[in-house]
Amino acid sequence: MVRFTPLKIGVTCVFAVLQAGCSGNQDLSKSDSLNIGTCESIVNSVQELEDGFKWTEGPAWDSNRGRWIFSDVMGDTEYAISPSGDLTTLRENAGFPNGHAAKNDGSFVVAQHDRTLNSVNGDGAEFALLSDSFQGNKLNSPNDVAIARDNSIFFTDPMFGIQGFGPEKADSSLGYAGVFRSNNGSLELINKQLATPNGIAITNDQKSLIVSDTGTNTLYTIDLDSYTGNPVEAVKLVELTPIEGGGEGHGPDGLRIASDNKIWATGKGGVNVLEADGTMNCAIPFPNHVSNLSFGGSDNKLVLATSADKVYKITLK
């Protein structure tokens, strides 16, 4: 998560890593649709589902309840929302929650800018600490999460939360931004090469991570089979370019991998849909920065996109 103040409450953009100009002057009601850009072959519509938040992030589909769980990071609140727009408040004064990912048992892992990684049920109950330090040093601000089929937890730990987008500013105890794996309660450092690791996803074959590095506008791959106890090199997959017709925003943030192996990655101007090798397939422009997204719905034909003070529903063909 990297935050700027949405146009609804100001015109100054503030980023944790870099600054870019504000844009996106569309005033859309919830019944209006956004332009689907070049994704007409796979997207039916993009519609605003709800607004009035401070900075939305970190959605994940709750299959048990038929809704998404998501965060308002700077509103310090965790919510759930249904495909029809029914909104439920789950946790307030929540610890600046950010990314979510569902475990096999239906519970969730949530990364928080209060420097913790936690578990929580889809109704906000049974919140419990998983990790808050590595080798005796406090984590920076756990940001986004991916969970493997064996329930191994991967998460990014940039410095956004301790740079002012969390409960308090602080120096990094680790001295680097990392990509970690939590396995049976212990943390392993998978990578510490990237300056601003942000979004994270695991490929469908479970062999690689895809990680966005916001400051360089780049997606990287990390080969998990290469990990033998020491950090693994991140290999550049693709540098993203701004999406035509979208707001300026900033570099890539959250991302997800679809069942067909396409990578849905946020970036400057909206949402990029890429082939597994990084080749651009199509793009959806958004007026404000899209921080993250999550597939959902009974047939996985819906996507919740979190964007500034709003959440949008993308309906797929």
Q: What is the pLDDT of residues 222-274, one digit of tens each?
A: 999 999 999 999 999 999 999 999 998 889 999 999 999 999 999 999 999 99
Phi, psi angles (nearest 5°) of residue 59: -75, 150
* DSSP-based helix, strand, coil % in the chain, nearest 5: 5, 45, 55
Burial class (CB in 10 A: 0-12, 13-18, 19+), 136: exposed
Pairwise CA distance, residues 57 & 292, whole Å: 6
Which of 195-199, 204-208, 249-253 has the lowest average pLDDT? Answer: 249-253
14 vs 107, which has greater pLDDT?
A: 107
What average pLDDT does the chain have? 91
Residue-wise DSSP of 117-184: EEEE-TTS-S-EEEESEETTEE-S----EEE-TT--EEEEE-STGGGTSSSS----SSSS-EEEEEET
Contact 243, 285 (CB under 8 A): yes
Closest CA relative to residue 33, chosen from 317, 316, 312: 312
User: 260: how many CB neighbours lie within 10 A of its CB?
Assistant: 9
pLDDT tens for 31-53 read 568 999 999 999 999 999 999 99
Between CA 5 and CA 12, with CA 9 as vertex, the angle to 5 degrees is 45
3-state secondary structure of 313: strand
Q: Is the pLDDT of residue 17 over 80?
A: no
- For residues 271-285, average pLDDT: 98
Question: Which pLDDT band holds residue 30 (cuts at 50, 70, 90)?
Answer: low
Please give the structure tokens belonging to residue 217: 């506008």
Residues 6+ apart with CB under 8 A from 104: 149, 151
Pairwise CA distance, residues 306 & 254, whole Å: 10
Architecture of domain 43-316: 6 Propeller (2.120)
Please give the structure tokens belonging to residue 298: 């009974």
3-state secondary structure of 239: strand
Query: H or E stretch including 311?
Result: strand 310-316
- For residues 12-22, average pLDDT: 35
Which of 67-76, 240-249, 271-280 has the lowest average pLDDT? Answer: 240-249
Residues 6+ apart with CB under 8 A from 159: 16, 140, 141, 172, 177
Contact 286, 25 (CB under 8 A): no
Domain ranges of the chain: 43-316
Q: Is the pLDDT of residue 86 over 90?
A: yes
Burial class (CB in 10 A: 0-12, 13-18, 19+), 169: exposed
Is pTM beyond 0.75 here?
yes
Residues 6+ apart with CB under 8 A from 235: 220, 221, 222, 223
